[in-house]
Structure 1
């Protein structure tokens, strides 16, 4: 199975875009496995649960959202990775809504609106 990876810098920027401080973003980046991707270092999902690092549920969801935003932004259009990223991010939107993390849901919805040319839908909710 091919492992999806993202540049470290992209992940840090994504975490900041979700409102995390630089310090918190750097702490979270350290939870990922770092691999040499040639021209840059990349992050891949860790084998262990993020809960082992004492992140709150919301921080775990923010971390996963930032990872998938980074995947979407660093892959070719219409690639398998981009489609997986869009699907994962849309799923995380509904998880955030159901857990009452409105700030995270709003961030994802705003990102979805800005990237509508990729997925051809204006709203992450697809109703209304």
Structure 2
């Protein structure tokens, strides 16, 4: 099995971040948790385990609030899901990340992001065939 970065096109992520309510200043802060890749195929943001851990220490809470961080992660994983092949391992990973984000955000007293995820989950049911965030189709 080959390994590769989980990454999304930079322009698609910034559009998605805008669609979930991040301002341009918040987008600039949030994308710092990703590895920036520029190659012949374009500009990308890839998961980076070191940067994401240091973000919690280094960021100024006045620059981006926790609800926007949750929304940002949802935007990232939506992009991953939208470009994954149906039934692929990447699609399953994206769904798992979105499901985990739903429960983590709800546990942390977030209201908007869990509601948005629940709506998205129902709207994309025809693609992933999981009726509920708390159940798995066997």
**TM-score, normalized by the shorter chain, greater than 0.5:** yes
> Which of 53, 62, 84 is matched with 2:59 structurally?
53
Q: 28-37 vs 76-85, which deviates more?
A: 28-37
Is contact 1:113-1:124 (8 Å) kept?
no
CA distance in 2, matches of 1:11, 1:116: 22
> Which of 47, 63, 74 is matched with 1:65 structurally?
74
Partner of 1:19: 21
Q: Give the root-mean-square deviation of aligned CA atoms.
A: 1.9
* Stretches of structure 2 lacking an aligned partner (at least 5 in a row): none
CA distance in 2, matches of 1:73, 1:125: 21
Q: Secondary structure at the match of 1:118?
A: helix
Partner of 2:38: 36
Quickly say closer, same or farther: Cα 1:72–1:101, change in 2 above 3 A.
same
Quickly say closer, same or farther: Cα 1:91–1:16, change in 2 above 3 A.
same
Determine which structure has more spread, i.e. the larger CA radius of gyration.
2
Is contact 1:18-1:107 (8 Å) kept?
no
* CA positional deviation for 1:10: 1.4
* Stretches of structure 1 lacking an aligned partner (at least 5 in a row): none
Q: Secondary structure at the match of 1:106?
A: helix
The reply to whether residue 74 of structure 1 matches residue 76 of structure 2 is: no
Q: 82-91 vs 27-36, which deviates more?
A: 27-36
Q: What TM-score, normalized by structure 1, do the two folds share? A: 0.84
Partner of 1:94: 103
Quickly say closer, same or farther: Cα 1:76–1:38, change in 2 above 3 A.
farther
